[in-house]
Amino acid sequence: MKIATIEQFFPLPRVRLVKITTDNGLVGWGETTLEGKPASVVAAVEELAEYFVGKDPLRIEHHWQHVYRSAFFRGGNILMTALSGIDQALWDISGKHFGVPTHALLGGAVRERIRVYAHWGIGSLTDEGKASARERLDMLMAKGSYTAFKSGPGGKWRAHEPPSMIDEFVERAYLMREWVGPDVELAFDFHGKMTPAMAVEICHELKGMRPMFVEEPVPQENVDALKQVADKVSFPIATGERLLTRWGFREVIEKQAAAYLQPDTSHAGGITELKKIANMAEVYYMHILPHCAIGPVAFSASLHVDAVIPNFLAQEQIDQGLGGGLLQQDWEVVDGHIDLPSKPGLGFEIDETAVAQHTQYREELGGEYYYETDGSVADW
């Protein structure tokens, strides 16, 4: 069995897919969506296809090592996203070849179902904002009875802000706790917008409502700055959606700068690397909350690693991740969990008609954001 073709599809504004077909007709799917660099990843996949076509698709580890180590400049978000999507597709083919779910080839499941958390929050304290938030909460609870949600402060934050801005976010957070009660967990994504001092101040304000975690309180480049926050906050700190490979996570793990790690299966190195990152973290009693804010193929790939790692905590899930109109059957959330994938490979069937639709990429993260008061660049 050899790889015959590698194709790419662009079916949704923020979903880029790769399809690998073998000479005996097996098909594997992966997701290569990268915020801010869609065209670059397309080119990277085309370059990698020159190596992969004609190769045995079952030699996944060998191919991973070749792609990562043969380039003089290792890693980087473009290469790793392209490799991640191809890696997912190869695991999909392997499961189909052996007639088992991919997680069976990763050592077998250690749990019977997979916990997921949804995105929900109160955007503003106006009557309209509260009504909108209540409507979405009711919809999510009716759809899947979620037991955990993630929100964030939103907007642009400087090194420090007036008390009114901080108080407004804290009030929204406590109102969320009031609405869902003590049995539902709430997390907050700061999106790397804070300085250490600002993050610590806000985390102390949130302490009384017992967050599940605060994600990316500071930018990902400086692990010591992250540890400053983690050492001064009484609840868990999480990070990792912008870190790549075991080597990218090594310093965070060794310095124990976070309690939870959030590698993304479409950026960190695919299924192959996500499992290795989790295995490293297990030694330090760190838990894994895989990041996934793109499409259903990346989400499906994540589920298989979630199934086999003992230190898994919960899987991020956005509405689009459950199917997005691209799968013949969406994943179903019941009591905040998804049953283990049971079909061969990654466990889904693609709607070929939907996938064939070409959609212009639309950026939702990054871009040009400025503080209105002085025109300097702001994080978003």
Q: The domain at 104-344 falls in which architecture? A: Alpha-Beta Barrel (3.20)
As a 3-state breakdown, the chain gives helix, strand, coil percent values, each rounded to 5, of 40, 15, 40
Q: Mean pLDDT throughout 79-96? A: 98
Convert the pLDDT of each residue in 239-283 to its tens digit: 999 999 999 999 999 999 999 999 999 999 999 999 999 999 999
Q: Mean pLDDT throughout 228-232? A: 98
Q: What distance in Å separates the CA atoms of residue 326 and residue 254, rounded to the nearest whole number?
A: 40
**What is the residue extent of each domain of the chain?**
3-100, 104-344
Q: Mean pLDDT throughout 77-98? A: 98
Q: What distance in Å separates the CA atoms of residue 181 and residue 211, rounded to the nearest whole number?
A: 12
CATH superfamily ID and name for 3-100: Enolase-like, N-terminal domain (3.30.390.10)
**360: confidence class by pLDDT, cuts 50, 70, 90:** confident
**Do the domains 104-344 and 3-100 match in fold?**
no
Convert the pLDDT of each residue in 361-379 to its tens digit: 776 666 667 888 888 888 8
DSSP 154: -
Give me the helices (H) in the chain, please: 38-52, 60-70, 77-98, 102-105, 127-144, 163-180, 196-206, 223-232, 245-254, 270-282, 296-308, 352-355
The identity of residue 251, as a single letter, is E
For the four alpha carbons of 210, 249, 242 and 310, in that order, the dihedral sign comes to: negative
Q: What distance in Å separates the CA atoms of residue 41 and residue 79, rounded to the nearest whole number?
A: 7
147-161, 292-306, 364-378: which is most confident: 292-306
Give me the helices (H) in 292-337, please: 296-308
Q: Mean pLDDT throughout 84-103? A: 98
- DSSP H or E stretch at residue 11: strand 3-12
Q: What distance in Å separates the CA atoms of residue 355 and residue 343, rounded to the nearest whole number?
A: 20
Q: Mean pLDDT throughout 191-199? A: 95
DSSP 334: B
Q: Are 262 and 305 in contact (CB under 8 A)?
A: no
Q: Spell out a b/e string for 41-62, using b for 16 or more CB atoms within 10 Å of the CB, else e.
A: bbebbeebbeebeeeebbebee
Q: Mean pLDDT throughout 102-124? A: 97
Query: How far out from the chain centre does Cα 107 lie?
Result: 22
Residues acting as catalytic residues: 191, 291
According to the model, what pLDDT value does residue 367 have? 61
Q: Mean pLDDT throughout 320-334? A: 94
In this predicted structure, the answer to whether residue 163 has a pLDDT above a threshold of 90 is: yes
Look at residues 276, 264, 265, 343 and name the one whose alpha carbon lies nearest to residue 309: 276
According to the model, what pLDDT value does residue 358 have? 86
DSSP 320: G
The first and second tokens of residue 60, run together, are: 């996944």
Look at residues 164, 152, 224, 203 and name the one whose alpha carbon lies nearest to residue 379: 152
